[in-house]
Every structure is written in C-alpha cells, then in structure tokens.
Structure 1
Amino acid sequence: MIKEELDITIKDLLEAGAHFGHQKMRWNPKMKRFIFEERSGIYIIDLAKTMQQIRNAIEVVSDVVTQHKTILFVGTKKQAKTVVKECAENADEFYVNARWLGGMLTNLTTIRKSIKTLEKIEKRIATGGEGLTKKELSNLTKDQQKLEKNLAGIRTMRKPPGLLIVVDPYQEHIAVAEAKKLNIPVMALVDTNCNPDPIDYVIACNDDALKSVKLILTTLTTAIIEKKKEMKVVTKGEKKPTLKTNIDENIEIDVSDTETDKEV
C-alpha cells in the first residue's frame, strides 16, 4: 500500500552519506552555493538546501505525471545501475542503466529501428533458429543479448520523455546534452564535481554512495507512483493523498560517524 505521507529528513540524508562531496581538488566552483563547508579536505553539501530541492523535485515529477508525460531515469555508473532499473520499473517509467547510445533522444527513429531488429532476432531465436548453423545461432544470441542490455529500459518509448532524472550529470553528459537540444527538462543528482548550469532541477548530493542515490531516487519514485494512484482514484471522489517533506534546518551536521562511499 502506498503511503499518503512522504517522509524524508535531513537525518535520513546524513545516515545515507548524502552530504559528502568530492575532495577539494576535484570540485567545480559553480557548486559553491550548494556547499555547507570544507572539512578535512572534503566538501560538505548543505543538506538544508538539498531538502528544499527534493521538495521541489517532488512537485516537478508530480506535475509531469499530471500532464501525462513520461519520465526517463538515466544512471549507468555501478552505484546507480540497479536502483535506476528498480525505480523506473516500479514507477512504470523508462530507464537507461547500461550505456547511453548516442541519439537515444535526438535520433529516436534509428533507436526504434534497433529495437525492431531486437524483436526480429528474438522471434528467430524463439523458433529455435531454424536454418541457422550453431555458430550463426550463437552470434545471433550474442547480438540479442547486447541489444537487450542497452535497450531494455526504452523498448516501448516511442517519443521523447517529458523529463530526465539523471544520476551524475558529469558522467551522463551526452544524455544531458541531447535532452537540452530537445528542450527536455533535466533533473539530476549533482555532486560537487559537476557543473549544475545545464540542469533544470538540481538535487545536490553525494552521487557516489549507493545509499544516497537509492534514498533520493526512491523518494522521487514514491511521488510518481502516488500521483498516478491519485489520478486514478480522483474520479471516484476519493481523498487525494498529499506529499510532505519534513525539513529541519536546525539539525547539526555531524560527519564523524558516517561513511563517504566516495571515489577518491
């Protein structure tokens, strides 16, 4: 059952290590406004601002759902692969978690042709590869596995999404660039080494820690699911669920007992 109240606190973010940025030498000065302080050579992200960004992000994804637009989750780094797939599937949205193929947004027609090729290969294999040698069938199976790996999360995406949710825009810069070219808004989990300028909806956080990525993406996913549920029941006169975040800007940030999970 989906909760009517969505709770996430600064304490949750602290426990997930969301406040740890990169080493001072690896920072992007444009992230300065999202930094709380520098401690032991590591930048500490201002979680009060992150909380407000999450609150805004919840409103944004809810609005996208209300407009009957789709959402594409993007995260190909090892910390994001599994959670990106799980969140997208739970929300019945699209995802890319293996490799961003150039043109996934800007040349969707070609990508759709690749998907049709995948479907043809699957049908051929399903019939036992009649008429093919063992080597030909083996090669066909390898092609199927490669295409499935890269295209599994967008097989039914026939037009550009209404929003991208990106984990680490530094790594996923091609996806961000394609989205900007098509005027598709981008929401991203942005660490202190990233340039936030191309991002429409910044969520400043540690994008290297699995717990941090999972906490924030799960929160957004819950908002998407609840909004879809609300849209289904509202015609029946049922009470609309409300989304809330609890912000405690006075909580003291103690980094002594938390782990960074940060690549150094």
Structure 2
Amino acid sequence: MANNIEVKELLDAGVHFGHLTRRWDPNMAPYIYMERNGIHIINLYKTAAKIDEASEALKKIAASGRKILFVATKKQAKEIVAEKASKANQPYITERWPGGMLTNFVTIRKAVKKMASIDRMKKDGTFNTLSKKERLQVDRLRAKLEKNLGSISDMTRLPGALFVVDITREHIAVKEAQKLNIPIFAMVDTNSDPRQVEYVIPANDDASKSIDKVMTYVTDAISEGLSERKAAKEAPKAQPAKKAEAKPAPAAVATEGDTQEEE
C-alpha cells in the first residue's frame, strides 16, 4: 500500500492546506509542517504514512466481514463519500446523523425494517388497497426513510469501524462510537483534536479534491480486503472437491485386495 501513496498526488489534490493559524488545535502540532500566509500547512509525509496505516487496518476489518460506516454530511463531501463507499459496498450517512444511530441501533433497525415492509406491501398489492391519502402518507414516510437510512439498509449489526470526514462537524457520531468502543478512522484538519480518533489522517477536510484523494486510497484498501475474504471463502470449497475425487480409488483397491485374500 505504502508504495501507492504518492506525496506529489496528495500535494496536487491540496491535502496539505490546513485552516487559519488562529483556528488551530494545538494537539495537531505534530502533523503541521509550517505556516504560510496565516495558514497551517500539513506535513504530507506524515499524511502518507497515516493513510497507509489506516488502509491496512481497514483492509483487515473488511477481510473479517465487518462493515465500515462512512460519515460525511458536509456539502463538499456528501457525493464523493456516497459514491466511494457504495463502490466498496459499505454503508454511509451523508444526510443528517440520526441521533442514536449507534447507541440505539435497535430502534434504527426497526425504521429500516419499516422501509422493507412498505416495499413488501407494494409488491403483494396491499398498498393498492389503501386510500389515496394513506398511500400518500406511506410514500412520504418511505421517501423520508430512504433519504436518511437507505444507505444503511444492509447494515444488520453495529459496524466494525467508523470513517469520518470532519470530526468537529460529526462530533455526535464520534461520541456514539467512543461510547461503544468502535474504532474511529478520520480525516482530521488542523482545527480538530486528533486525540478523539484511533486512526488519524491529517488532511484538508474541506476541499472536494482532497476528500476524493483520501477516500480513493481507503476504499481501494477495503475492496482489497473484501477480495481477500472472497478468495479465502472459495479456497476451502475447492479443496474438499479434489479430496472427494481422490478417495474412491484407494478404497476400491483395498476392497479388491481383501476379497482376494479371503478367497
């Protein structure tokens, strides 16, 4: 992975641009290279190393079969995160964070099941038996649920990790994950406290190019982990088949030998 992370690519994407120096969090000092025109510049060599570290960890989580929930509700990150997370077959939240999404997961799952039951109603014809007003209400409810929870409909249990773009903005999601000891991976800008996160990726979390670049690296690693999991699952299936083919021959020879001795 490390070889694939080019510092020049990060530079071209503007990953190094931090916030105004007066808006910084002193805990980000180890990741800051210098100050230029009143703006902090992030050390991209440290960013590259942290992307590599986070990618390896995410790859292992994906290979273990756990989901990684992506959280990014800011305008410039929403579409990028939705697209990249979908490609890697991972759940994501890009609308408002539903309070209790993690700490009250049972209730959230009920809402997702409600969405599925509306879909069943439409398939089996029950929906058509409702009055026009009721149908309109059900459609509105379905649209609302789809907007807020559609992207997590396949998440049947708590995620194995959270990936957050801008921990200051998504502080509620961060707090819920901390309560449940769910590891947090995040793009952390110079105005945020990196101590809240297990896997810090010091990076510009405001520019779409920067978000796109970091998201590409991490989701590629997740896809790699999923491929490894698939290959590991398929390997044992192939081995018993070969053994089964090989077994009958010796058994037949042994039986034949026994018969001759008896004679």
Into which bin does the TM-score normalised by the smaller protein fall? 0.7 to 0.9
Moved over 6 A (4+): none
1:189 aligns to 2:187 (yes or no): yes
The higher radius of gyration belongs to: 2
* RMSD (Å) for aligned C-alpha atoms: 2.0
Contact 2:188 2:203 in 1 (8 A): yes
The percent identity for this pair of structures is 46
Corresponding position of 2:256: none
For structure 1, list consecutive stretches of 5 or more residues without a partner in the other structure. 238-264
1:7 aligns to 2:20 (yes or no): no
Contact 1:125 1:141 in 2 (8 A): no
Q: How does 1:66-81 map to 2 (within 5 A)?
A: 66-81=63-78
Q: 17, 20, 27: which one pairs with 2:17?
A: 20
The C-alpha deviation readout for 1:75-103, integer Å capped at 9, x for no partner, is 11111111211122111111111121011
Contact 2:65 2:229 in 1 (8 A): no
Q: 14, 30, 33: which one pairs with 1:33?
A: 30
- CA distance in 2: counterparts of 1:190 and 1:5, whole angstroms: 20
Contact 1:87 1:218 in 2 (8 A): yes
Deviation at 1:104, TM superposition (A): 0.8
The C-alpha deviation readout for 1:110-157, integer Å capped at 9, x for no partner, is 001111112223334554842434333223222111110110111121
Structure with greater helix percent: 2
- CA distance in 2: counterparts of 1:138 and 1:118, whole angstroms: 15
For structure 2, list consecutive stretches of 5 or more residues without a partner in the other structure. 237-263
Contact 1:125 1:137 in 2 (8 A): no
Corresponding position of 1:213: 211
CA, structure 1 residues 78+6, in 2 after alignment: closer, same or farther (shift >3 Å)? farther
Q: TM-score, normalised by structure 2?
A: 0.83
Q: TM-score, normalised by structure 1?
A: 0.83
Deviation at 1:172, TM superposition (A): 0.8
1:166 aligns to 2:164 (yes or no): yes
Amino acid at match of 2:72: G
Amino acid at match of 2:167: P
Aligned residues: 234
Deviation at 1:228, TM superposition (A): 2.0
- CA distance in 2: counterparts of 1:232 and 1:121, whole angstroms: 33
The C-alpha deviation readout for 1:178-218, integer Å capped at 9, x for no partner, is 11111110000001111111100000000011111011111
Q: Indicate the SS of the match to 1:228.
A: helix
Corresponding position of 1:102: 99
1:180 aligns to 2:178 (yes or no): yes
- Relative contact order higher in (CA < 8 Å, ≥ 6 apart): 1
- CA distance in 1: counterparts of 2:118 and 2:197, whole angstroms: 38
